[in-house]
Structure 1
């Protein structure tokens, strides 16, 4: 663990008199934790140059004072700045190392990246600097003498800051361009033009919070109390209470309107009604399960916080439309992951930092060669729960799927961002067991049977299958093998005709059915994320 600096420079805030500490001589600025004054260090004096807005709280377990180790070097979190863009917010945590790291750095950044984390260090920007107006997602460019793929181009602004920072956050400068780049070595590079004359350049790598041996993280209880975020649905007036403070979009449990809270909860909230009613998720929202999402990762507890139905769009006449369902999972130290329920089975997916090497319909990632399966356009058709990005009605994504045995890769482009994710196939029984699902739900999750055919939609056959399995299971259990009506009660309710009929049959002759084998549903199409 970090042991703290041997020498601390301390002065009084010129605005409120509270003590302000500098643990590093390299830190040129700080934000007073009492009055939020932005302070610039000038020799032996502090100069107040503005006031930082209050931080918008979020799900991150990090906080100033937390400590850890990276590549053998101990560090302490000493500052934080929060940035916002059209789709929401993200944090950059300033970390100070006890000694020089492998690259000789004394300070760096622990930043959020698609629900995960990246440790990055400022680096000299050598060679020609690209014009931000000429950069587009998906392009390949040379920056600082290396080849990079442009992952996203966003206009951002500094929203708030706290603690010790290498430079003054300058909230008065308004919007500036931030460009994220990825390379085949698994690195992420960031260019930002908050100073138009001298863009900043940093390079980092993805890290797992668990591997940083962190101490001093926020307690679990801090996530359960979200004071001031309970709001009313702007469509129907029902109460909305986000369970994660990182939530950017939340779905009303009563009218199913999608509400945008990415810009805070004050004023008129943007929202839209959903045009269709989707299927209930097979894994209930809020359910937690312990499962391993990767060969080298031990089973961890994951909670279902969001659910989305997606469909292929812009299909040609006569071509079958593929549909699939996604469950957004959350773990406090791992961030976010996805469970994907597609027509050829279940799989998981995690966003990755680097980019694969593409050549002749193949993708090479971490020594494995993946074959391209499908390229298609998708769109979200129905959502429930909460999401860490802003959901836009009718927004389309361009997707490409790759496979190598049970391993999966996916490239997704939405607007000004390209995201790669990696994962693998999962056994449906393992998923059902992990999340404590019953026999009926487990049977409905299988995808290993022949197509039911008939030209009906996935929704029609899935509903029919679930109802049939519930009835068969319930009626069979009411016979000589047992008188358990709980599946009907759980599926249709205690006052339902189905449940009451089962109870009545228990007191009479009972009903038996012949045995049979029931497989899962499959249209014979491909699996899509």
Structure 2
């Protein structure tokens, strides 16, 4: 026996598995521990790596089990004297360092999905579980007891940070370990020091223990459960061999993506190894969907979900990377995801291989937050919560990715994370409308600057006191005036002396060269008084109108006044003619026509969103 690490207090005999502890200069045998079971871990004792520019060496190895197969934890000692642990979970590695004891923190109340603040950082609890040490090798920092069932809580923080609370057999005061999630290459271990991955070759061509049907396991080193496609038997694989658990109801539908099919998504070739049928019931109506488990040796597991012809590619994510207001919104990667729905998801049928102890009847609270075409999905059970980031895929993308010969079902209805097909068109419409509006304003400015806007006549007219309304006695002729070019005409009529009366002006512009007459009529009225509510007034002392463009030439304005017959009195008004004035009517018509396109695009886009959110059961929570 040899202690080579200064931090080690226990060493496991490589020959007889006796646990030997040292206390000063004395040594004690503390019984025997199980021998390490070969797993798919690439790590091994003695391997040397480098992290944050500091070298380290793996000096100890524990295997723990919670009843569903062992997982590996590796004890490491750094060149600078620090120690830590590398833990493995479903192909992921976490390097953790001891951070003391959190006194007063109870195990009770630390439920998956809950948030806590510890060591000046916010964490999200992903798992609460327990297990015992079943085997060990090498040098370890403390004694191991295979009879103890220890509790732990795992949590994640932002940017890959990781937290483990080790309660042991206590109800509070856990040991705190903090660190981060790393990829295998980030451990800094040379490829020559990595162990060839163990292969359960005997399971690749196994037979169902219930019906003796041939089974082809596609990820035998990762799978814990296999559902037989022939008889529906659920088989356990955690101990390296198949053992019958129970019969399940076989899926009523054939998977659209066959088990064993390979497809490229997100730049990775995935292997389809599992198929689930899950459902939820809302107001007495069952809503089923399908989930396909995809596997890649380096990237691990991911999911492809299908519902009513819609597909979503789901990638695992750390809960700590998401800021969550439960039932309201999620914030991830500078994007806000609005809560869409929350249901109880039930697993109905199982086919293929799975990395957890799957079984029919499993229930989880599933919550979906959407920012089309993306989504954040939270599945929570009593012991664990998992977060996935989804991206909506068109059926054609899935068909091409897996090389499927048959066409996939056409989408029905609107999926929660389906991108709004009118949104991109709306953006383009608004862009082009803005450009046309700018052009319209430039054109209007050009015509305004180019217009003469010249007053060609200002006439003060007095109607004689004895004149009769609408007769030649109320008629007046102006002096001739010249229009040098073709242009429109703006007519302004005003009568400052008008009081509780009205005055109508019939005007005629007579072209002296051609005799052509262009007429107009403008009526002025102004009334005022007082009543129980105070003073009031209505009408106006002035009015204006625009005439169509007139050809050049010499003109005379003829006006004829109309009014109420009454006591004889003179009536006076003013007439002003402005030639070639800016005319905004065409601008208004063009402006309105240009707004029709954006209005229609906005209407279609809003209609799509209204139809989408009509299916939400959390839409009112925002």
TM-score normalized by the length of structure 1: 0.69
What is residue 193 of structure 1 aligned with on the other side? 167
Pick the aligned partner of 1:389 from 356, 366, 385: 356
What is residue 358 of structure 1 aligned with on the other side? 324
What is residue 314 of structure 2 aligned with on the other side? 348
What is residue 72 of structure 2 aligned with on the other side? 91
d(CA) in 2 for partners of 1:218, 1:447: 47
d(CA) in 2 for partners of 1:289, 1:330: 10
RMSD: 3.3
Q: Is the 8 A contact 2:124 2:155 kept in 1?
A: yes
Which of the two has greater strand per residue? 2
> How far has the Cα of 1:164 moved from its partner?
2.7
d(CA) in 1 for partners of 2:404, 2:240: 39
Rate the CA distance shift 1:439–1:260 in 2: closer, same or farther, 3 A.
closer
Rate the CA distance shift 1:79–1:136 in 2: closer, same or farther, 3 A.
same
Rate the CA distance shift 1:231–1:244 in 2: closer, same or farther, 3 A.
closer
Pick the aligned partner of 1:140 from 111, 115, 120: 115
What is residue 168 of structure 1 aligned with on the other side? 143
Pick the aligned partner of 2:295 from 330, 336, 351: 330
What is residue 14 of structure 2 aligned with on the other side? 33
- Describe the superposition over 1:163-199 as per-residue Cα deviations: whole angstroms up to 9, x where unpaired: 2322233223x21211223345643221122263863
What is residue 226 of structure 2 aligned with on the other side? 250
Q: Is the 8 A contact 2:61 2:73 kept in 1?
A: yes
Rate the CA distance shift 1:263–1:448 in 2: closer, same or farther, 3 A.
same
Pick the aligned partner of 2:369 from 402, 415, 429: 402
> How far has the Cα of 1:288 moved from its partner?
3.4
> How far has the Cα of 1:361 moved from its partner?
0.9
d(CA) in 1 for partners of 2:11, 2:268: 37
Rate the CA distance shift 1:387–1:179 in 2: closer, same or farther, 3 A.
same
d(CA) in 1 for partners of 2:287, 2:237: 31
Pick the aligned partner of 2:195 from 195, 198, 218: 218
What is residue 156 of structure 1 aligned with on the other side? 131
Q: Is the 8 A contact 2:113 2:126 kept in 1?
A: yes
Q: Secondary structure at the match of 1:193?
A: strand
> How far has the Cα of 1:397 moved from its partner?
0.9
d(CA) in 2 for partners of 1:234, 1:67: 43
Rate the CA distance shift 1:134–1:363 in 2: closer, same or farther, 3 A.
closer
Q: Is the 8 A contact 1:57 1:245 kept in 2?
A: no
Rate the CA distance shift 1:110–1:430 in 2: closer, same or farther, 3 A.
farther
Pick the aligned partner of 1:120 from 92, 96, 102: 96
> How far has the Cα of 1:401 moved from its partner?
0.9
d(CA) in 1 for partners of 2:76, 2:396: 43
What is residue 275 of structure 1 aligned with on the other side? 249
What is residue 61 of structure 1 aligned with on the other side? 42
Pick the aligned partner of 2:347 from 380, 384, 394: 380
Q: Is the 8 A contact 1:208 1:334 kept in 2?
A: no
Q: Is the 8 A contact 2:350 2:360 kept in 1?
A: no
Q: Secondary structure at the match of 1:354?
A: helix
Rate the CA distance shift 1:164–1:290 in 2: closer, same or farther, 3 A.
farther
> How far has the Cα of 1:363 moved from its partner?
0.7
> How far has the Cα of 1:362 moved from its partner?
0.9
What is residue 80 of structure 1 aligned with on the other side? 61
What is residue 334 of structure 2 aligned with on the other side? 367
Q: Structure 1 residues 358-367 or 38-47, which shifts more? A: 38-47
d(CA) in 2 for partners of 1:426, 1:377: 24
d(CA) in 2 for partners of 1:98, 1:429: 54
Q: Secondary structure at the match of 2:108?
A: helix
> How far has the Cα of 1:410 moved from its partner?
0.9
5+ residue gaps, structure 2, are: 415-610, 617-622
Rate the CA distance shift 1:99–1:366 in 2: closer, same or farther, 3 A.
farther
- Describe the superposition over 1:366-416 as per-residue Cα deviations: whole angstroms up to 9, x where unpaired: 332211121111112222221111013311111011122322211111221
d(CA) in 1 for partners of 2:413, 2:118: 51
Q: Structure 1 residues 415-424 or 33-42, which shifts more? A: 33-42
What is residue 304 of structure 1 aligned with on the other side? 272
- Describe the superposition over 1:410-452 as per-residue Cα deviations: whole angstroms up to 9, x where unpaired: 11112211122224234544444443x2432xx21x654669x
d(CA) in 2 for partners of 1:239, 1:52: 37
- Describe the superposition over 1:246-266 as per-residue Cα deviations: whole angstroms up to 9, x where unpaired: 322111243121123446659
Rate the CA distance shift 1:72–1:372 in 2: closer, same or farther, 3 A.
farther
Alignment of 1:204 onto 2:179: yes
